A and B are shown apart, each in its own frame.
Chain A
């Protein structure tokens, strides 16, 4: 069963538009961690954020923000005022104690920002 669902396969926006990437996860654990990674066209995976299950505070880092809602098992990611450099594949991932904290990745969402 898919533990992390990123329903949006591809999103295309024009520069300066906001874009929100959805991530829905599934777990029975009370302790778990959620992550977002960015994979730009160069191919490397870049860590963006980690959030534990006990911290539902939303987080903002520059143009990036994350909305964690346990009630809906979602950990959505918003890029504000998108730029061409934001073009990448974005992966949401889950680690759970019951799975030895191994990372389960979603399928990824490809974001294309057009100038």
Chain B
């Protein structure tokens, strides 16, 4: 079975550019999560969806960040405009049930570098 798929795996961009990160959750999972990992702040939950509906976006740092889940098999996290402090590893995870009751399965991550 395919796990959570993220693309791209690495992204290098210049400040001010738009960045779009993509995620395909595990088929049949109805919860999807976006996390950011940095040395300073560790793993932070940015937003999570249940049945394609955003449930909690309180972790989204600024209006420059937005996330969508147009269907059960695809989600995007967009940063516009990007800034150097957005450099981090962004993880997508999916779960067969709501939030942390069941384990979350993580994708390989996208390493974003904003110059």
Closest to A44 in B: B108
Count residues on chain A whose CB falls below 8 Å from chain B CBs: 21
Closest to B48 in A: A102
Q: Which residues of A contact B106 (CB under 8 A)?
A: 37, 44-47
Chain A interface residues toward B at CB < 8 A = 33, 35, 37, 42-47, 50, 91, 93, 95, 100-103, 105-108
Give Cα distance in the complex from A42 to B106, angstroms: 13
- Give the interface size bracket for B toward A: 20 to 34
Q: Which residues of B contact A102 (CB under 8 A)?
A: 45, 48, 56, 99-100
Are B42 and A101 in touch, CB under 8 angstroms?
no
Q: Which residues of A contact B105 (CB under 8 A)?
A: 47
Closest to B105 in A: A47
CB-CB nearest 4 A-B residue pairs: A95-B100, A101-B99, A45-B106, A101-B100
Q: Which residues of A contact B55 (CB under 8 A)?
A: 100
